């Protein structure tokens, strides 16, 4: 369903009226297309806290954005023209005490207003040092800073924090956050380890020669994920329930993939998937999910158990079975779908919230073991309000609240979840593990 309010605020009368009434004024987001694969403009690289030792320059150069270390003369207050940076990267990994935090303010205060519409601000931080509570305090302070800036920056711009120790290991993450692919990801804190990417990687078709399985892929977000992974070169197996076989085959045929229909809640689902893919699997996307909303006092046991079985138990069983059978090849990726309902809670969704919080718990517990024992990373995306047929059926006022209660003041699109999933599935994202990344436009509640 079209967001008429977003369209209205793009008109002169709409801007005037909403400004006078103090209403949200969402900016149309610039998303990835083949014709416009990168942001328009240059990247401004700043430093706070002294030299960090990170070799950032070559990594930032490979984002495709011309890079400078000096703000353009007269850029303060500008929002258009050649002086407006498309993105700002602030290296704050060297910030170790409260005095050095002043350098964060000094670096961004003069330039943040000049960042172009739909631009990006990425702050780089260091992991918290358990031996130095001063360093840990100020590095944690960066999280509050980033989340707050994200809620005030406006004009479709996003702000995120990346904790890293090695620039090359963070290349896929920086490429994602500094591109139109991350249009609906803001206010996030992403930890990146130290595993560098394969130097022979094809960044245009990173999943070429790889097989990806997407559950619940016959429609909605799952279909968008399948499309995006196919765009990146993967052979996609479109998995859905037998009742959706016609749609699953249609999607698979369009993408040059294959269709597999089965009940993902069946005890032997993992074994059947492994049997259908004897050569193994590189990417496993747990997208299938259902809702059966009721307040707890009105929720029968069947509504509780069906949601927990599809959204959580099937994820656990299938993952365990595929790992035990060695069906996921070394270097594989598991990406599960959580939800901000599982992180912040949602009235009428105790079953759904429990299932999606469980997915986050699975990711955080399994990730280190799966990497150590199988060479496989485990992460999750947590969508917020995404424009789908399901949300189109939500009553008007609740739907409008869902759209506006985030820093970007609009709902996301299925492709926003798909792009984030594709980044986590990327062969160069091996250093990203155990992360739950919200795709919610930085929800104003609980996120």
pLDDT tens readout for residues 299-308: 999 999 999 9
- Please tell me the distance from the alpha carbon of residue 175 to that of residue 161, in angstroms, as a whole number: 14
Say if residue 1's pLDDT is above 80. Answer: no
Q: Which residues does 341 contact at the CB level (< 8 Å), separation at least 6?
A: 349, 352, 353, 356
Distance (Å) of CA 280 to CA 100, 167, 283:
50, 31, 10
- Location of structure tokens 């992460």: 379
What is the mean pLDDT of the segment spanning 284-289?
Answer: 97
Parallel/antiparallel/unpaired status of strands 43-47 and 87-91: parallel
Kindly list the distances between the CA atom of residue 238 and the CA atoms of 208, 241, 248, 365, in Å, as whole numbers in the listed order. Answer: 17, 10, 6, 27
Nearest CA among 442, 389, 408, 429 for reference residue 170: 429
Q: Is the pLDDT of residue 417 over 90?
A: yes
pLDDT at 442: 97
Dist. CA 289–CA 338, nearest whole Å? 10
Residue 5 scores a pLDDT above 90: no
8 A C-beta contact, residue 196 and residue 224: no
CATH code reported for the domain at 211-439: 3.40.50.720
Per-residue pLDDT reduced to its tens digit, 364-387:
999 999 999 999 999 999 999 999
Residues pairing with 90 in the sheet:
46, 123
pTM of the shown model: 0.95
Fold of 25-191: Rossmann fold (3.40.50)
Q: Taking all residues of the chain, what is their mean pLDDT, rounded to a whole number?
A: 94
211-439 and 25-191 share a CATH fold: yes
What pLDDT, in 10s, does the model give residues 170-209?
999 999 999 999 999 999 999 999 876 666 789 999 999 9
How far is C-alpha 31 from the chain's CA centre?
Answer: 14
Active-site entry in 352, 386, 423, 442:
352
For 78-123, how does the pLDDT look when each residue is reduced to its tens digit (9 = 90+)? Answer: 444 467 999 999 999 999 999 999 999 999 999 999 999 999 999 9
Neighbouring CB atoms inside 10 A of 370's CB total 21
Q: What is the mean pLDDT of residues 290-299?
A: 95
d(CA 442, CA 148) in angstroms, rounded, equals: 10
Which DSSP string do the residues of 398-433 spell out, in sequence order? Answer: HHHHHHHSBTTSS-B-HHHHHHHHHHHHSGGGTT--
Question: Mind listing the pLDDT tens digit for each residue in 47-74?
Answer: 999 888 899 999 999 999 999 999 876 5
Question: Domain locations in the chain?
Answer: 25-191, 211-439
CA distance linking residue 258 with residue 18, whole number of Å: 48
3-state helix, strand, coil in the chain (%, to 5): 40, 15, 40
Q: Residue 322 has which token pair?
A: 């595929």
Given the structure tokens 């138990």, which residue do they identify? 313
When pLDDT is cut at 50, 70 and 90, the band that residue 444 belongs to is: confident
pLDDT over 90 percentage in the chain = 86
Over the stretch 209-235, which tens digit does the pLDDT of each residue have?
999 999 999 999 999 999 999 999 999
Residue 352 a catalytic site member: yes
pLDDT number for residue 153 = 97
- Position of tokens 């245009």? 204
Tell me if residue 213 falls in helix, strand or coil: strand
């Amino acid at each position: 369903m079209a967001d008429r309010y977003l369209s209205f605020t793009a008109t002169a009368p709409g801007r005037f009226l909403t400004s006078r009434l103090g209403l949200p004024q969402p900016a149309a987001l610039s998303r990835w297309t083949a014709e416009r694969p990168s942001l328009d403009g240059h990247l401004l690289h700043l430093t706070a806290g002294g030299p960090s030792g990170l070799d950032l320059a070559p990594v930032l150069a490979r984002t495709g954005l011309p890079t400078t270390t000096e703000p353009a003369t007269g850029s303060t207050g500008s929002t258009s023209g050649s002086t407006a940076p498309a993105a700002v990267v602030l290296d704050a990994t060297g910030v170790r005490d409260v005095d050095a935090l002043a350098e964060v303010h000094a670096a961004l205060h003069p330039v943040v207003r000049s960042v172009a519409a739909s631009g990006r601000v990425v702050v780089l931080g260091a992991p918290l040092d358990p031996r130095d509570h001063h360093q840990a305090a100020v590095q944690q302070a960066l999280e509050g800073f980033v989340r707050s800036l994200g809620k005030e920056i406006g004009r479709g711009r996003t702000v995120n924090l990346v904790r890293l120790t090695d620039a090359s290991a963070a290349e896929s993450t920086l490429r994602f956050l500094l591109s139109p692919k991350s249009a609906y990801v803001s206010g996030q804190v992403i930890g990146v380890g130290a595993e560098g990417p394969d130097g022979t990687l094809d960044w245009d078709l990173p999943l070429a020669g790889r097989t990806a399985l997407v559950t619940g892929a016959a429609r909605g977000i799952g279909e968008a994920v399948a499309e995006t992974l196919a765009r990146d070169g993967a052979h996609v197996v479109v998995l859905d329930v037998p009742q959706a076989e016609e749609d699953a085959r249609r999607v698979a045929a369009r993408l040059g993939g294959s269709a597999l229909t089965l009940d993902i809640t069946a005890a032997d689902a993992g074994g059947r998937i492994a049997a259908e893919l004897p050569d193994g699997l590189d990417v496993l996307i747990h997208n299938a999910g259902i809702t059966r909303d009721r307040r707890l006092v009105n929720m029968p046991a069947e509504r509780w158990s069906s949601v927990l079985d599809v959204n959580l138990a099937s994820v656990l069983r299938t993952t365990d079975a595929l790992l035990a059978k060695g069906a996921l090849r070394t270097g594989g990726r598991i990406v599960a779908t959580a939800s901000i309902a599982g992180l912040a809670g949602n009235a009428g969704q105790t079953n759904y919230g429990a299932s999606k919080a469980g997915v986050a718990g699975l990711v955080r517990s399994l990730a280190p073991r799966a990497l150590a024992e199988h060479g496989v990373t485990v992460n999750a995306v947590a969508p917020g309000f995404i424009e789908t047929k399901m949300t189109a059926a939500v009553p008007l006022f609740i739907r409008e609240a869902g759209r506006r209660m985030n820093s970007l003041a609009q709902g996301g699109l299925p492709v926003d979840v798909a792009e984030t999933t594709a980044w986590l599935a990327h062969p160069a994202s091996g250093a990203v593990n155990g992360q739950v990344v919200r795709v919610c436009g930085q929800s104003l509640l609980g996120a």
